[in-house]
Amino acid sequence: MKILITGGAGFIGSAVVRHIINQTEDEVLVIDKLTYAGNLESLIEISKNKQFHFKQIDICDRKSLDSTIIDFYPDIIMHLAAESHVDRSIDNPSAFIETNIIGTYTLLEATLAYWKALDRSKQSTFRFHHISTDEVYGDLHGTNDLFTEKTPYSPSSPYSASKASSDHLVRAWYRTFGLPIVLTNCSNNYGPYHFPEKLIPLMILNALEGKPLPVYGNGQQVRDWLYVEDHARALYLVATKAKVGQTYNIGGHNEQKNIDVVNIICELLEELAPNKPNGINYYKDLITHVSDRPGHDQRYAIDASKIYQDLGWKPQETFESGMRKTVIWYLNNKSWCEHIKDGSYARSRQGII
């Protein structure tokens, strides 16, 4: 098959691309605007593969989308391009409205025009797969409930509100125009190639440099953690096997408090990186509690039984095995991290692809 992936240079997108190229014979075209979180160094290992193609495109650019989609002639479009950091959405909501809402609308219109022009046999097998987040469901604080595919939306941040908006658009284009869509909502991802502003890589890298490990509030916020390579497998399975119109929640079955995640990282580093920066006795000594984020949701947790029942997917990694793999990866790939810190990952793009 030919699969077009938006946001394929991002954290989850690049994992999906690597999975498809390494595990299938499918051809992949990545389109990515290459904002700060788009890192072509995350695609180096497959960049010379004949199945892989890349174009730098903003999903708000309808003209470029039209020509690219028609030229590539995809069987599947997987839409992962999004602004995704909650703190940034609080500081600058406009970028999230532009990319996550206007960008998704523009891509839907380009896809609909493409799909309508296909012959009937290709129309019947085409899929538009929209990748979203569990944050659209809001906060489970004070309950033992889990998010299901039928949980009402109740977003709390500009980020989650923009993703909820994009989900509604995708479903409307299915219901009103017949565009064959599938939709997934995932829990918090972690693993290799995660941009260092996010919790787990930030804690690992700060600890290795002897910097404070900032934890919001009391650190009791609960998240369901999903190893990114497990997520990539699930996304490909949904894109290729799910029935049109279906929604699937994808979770890791790994509820953890933020403070416990940080403590686990510190314990792994004690074992795997015992030579600490000067003046530090234990990595845990670096933990620093800071003012909580405005509107901070206290608990997310996903019921992923539907995707197991329908498609046979379940995560292969436990939180313990996935975290160990993640910490080891960051210890072994310090140059990738350094290129982000010094900005050279952005300056070296032309030399990679």
Candidate list 41, 134, 167, 230, residue with the active-site label? 134
- Given 135, 230, 297, 317, the catalytic residue: 135
- Say how far apart CA 72 and CA 74 lie, in whole Å: 6
159 flagged as catalytic? yes
What SS3 state is found at 55?
strand
Q: Which of 155, 43, 150, 132 is nearest to 83 (CA)?
A: 132
Q: Is 134 a catalytic residue?
A: yes
Question: What residues pair up with 288 in beta bridges, in sequence order?
Answer: 214
Contact 170, 181 (CB under 8 A): yes
Q: Are 209 and 277 contacting, i.e. CB atoms less than 8 angstroms apart? A: yes
330 flagged as catalytic: no
* Tokens at 132, concatenated: 């979203």
User: Out of 159, 174, 227, 330, which one is annotated catalytic?
Assistant: 159
Q: What is the 3-state secondary structure (H, E, C) of 88-130?
A: HHHHCHHHHHHHHHHHHHHHHHHHHHHHHCCCHHHHHHCEEEE
Report which residue type is found at 300: Y
**Are the beta carbons of 238 and 311 closer than 8 angstroms?**
yes
Q: Which residues are the active-site residues?
A: 134-135, 159
